[in-house]
Structure 1
């Protein structure tokens, strides 16, 4: 019998939800054939079969929350076996005195998450004095027992502010209630909601705006797109220009590329560019590591690869960690103006928008130009208004005259 267990889910991720089983008990499976899909706070993880045989039992059903290394299923060798079903009480054979059934467990084999034995007396006394319940303290002693040090750690750990409860729903007419459908939020959607609200509650978030004339970028792209694709095998888009322009501006205003850690500021002498990508399950932000060392072609290839992995649900934890700045392109959905929300713990995010022709005054003449509004949301705790405005102006200047990128101006 081979056990199928939850794989390592990545840094800071300790549990997942069983999203989908691709096999059912009794089905034959091959080595590395996908058995099920787990959904974590950040990515979707596929679990392959560790051995060939027959899926004899599914231990964790769809919708259940499981921890790292928890048992998911069992695979046995040989022909397909029917799914295991619990017998009705009347069908159970009488058991001899002292015999233990499969559903019973010896005291030494406690269930996962349960503790056996008493907590330390000093720990119990301290919990009572501080009005702590069993669930408030995580025991690290033998068999999960709570020790005095565990209580001290719980007392010294700042408690999170209670989540703001949603306002109660307004009364719904009976004929309309029948047309409603209640669907549980996915773990990814719950995490997106929680992190966005944390960003609003934690950072002193402000947004500054500007507009950019896209004529120069569009002309340059039109002139070289065929030659670029022929040589590099990838299309020349706008994202590489914006990525390069942001890197150029981050070098001048490093505060936007920094983050706050306690009472310290961490300045990063590199740029790991996060690129927000919309997927059917929600917004994810894959990271282009060391984007400051990439050329236009490498940036375009990396963005295309990450976008495909995101839409296919193939992003790994490594693909989404370590970002220092983010670009979000709402223009692909038709957005003309928006205020993007920070991606913690980053201190800046650039919002791109729809390119729209507007009348502009150029050299005393009214001309039609392809214009785009830009929005920079930033954490005012670390980035001053002058730095935020300067950053956005540098991005604007680099896009309106891409030659500046070549000469580092």
Structure 2
């Protein structure tokens, strides 16, 4: 038996072409399963919301006689045969013709632990003929992909991805403004279509949720050290954001000859406290790629001491307010890097979230940590990154005061020497 590929991202699923094109029902079946049959607990376990043993929704035993799937002590169950069930939702069954075509081709197969009521593994597959499944089109669905599907409405899950710009320049010329307005209008229409009439008519409790994505995610990109200084990110101490950003630039990012930002560690495996960021409140632009965050000092990780040294352990101060969030693809490429801060103990602050450009990342990588924090370089951008203007002013005054003291001491010594010489000559 060949190794079954695991699908971790929406882009992986799209690449397989599972459930497409209509009248195939696989994508509708998978969305239904993710939303109605699975609950993912705090430990990442996939708990069953239905009991496949009892035959709910047409579940029945899959005996794996041909070795399609890995050997397991747990029993396998399959679902999706539209010829033997009428309890699946209409949106799953609507294209079923009843004939020997592709409208009943797709299946989901699960290994189920009845004692824990847990799905250990979830697979999608398709028939190669009327009897057998296709080994080359059988895939394991990861818990992370199930989470991503649970975050999407059915319409958005089925919708083909758009090429959206993540950086919108306010001062754009008229034709570009027209195109963006048209794109926003189209997306608003689609978002309204996703709502029931009651949801559309009712007054929203959180207005930010109902703003079209392209409008909400007009996010500032930081290209220079001066841009970073201006935002106030990571300042003043005990905030750890600047040390975190310097560490990330030097230890986690390699810039290749093509100008691509390549991850130097396997972020998906959770080193240094990296964890999935699900973007449920749409802090960041929509992407098929998963987001990961790092910087939470409450969780045990292996961040260096200079990042964690000001951490107090208290939730009432700013010593754990800063985070870095990245989008990361299976080729270990960092597509985008963001810095943000908490607005409270749970939420991030949309107004203090910024994208870090490739150019800024290059500049940080050229600086020592002391240069980055203090700005003592011979380069054109001589900045006190970690000091607000008032502190910089006081620092300059301190330097002047020290020079004055040195001058007075020297004058005093010269006076003493002159007096000694005068009396020695008189003798």
Structure-1-length-normalised TM-score: 0.23
Q: Which has the higher contact order (CA 8 A, sep 6+)?
A: 1
Structure-2-length-normalised TM-score: 0.22
Between Structure 1 and Structure 2, the one with more strand by share is 1
Between Structure 1 and Structure 2, the one with more helix by share is 2
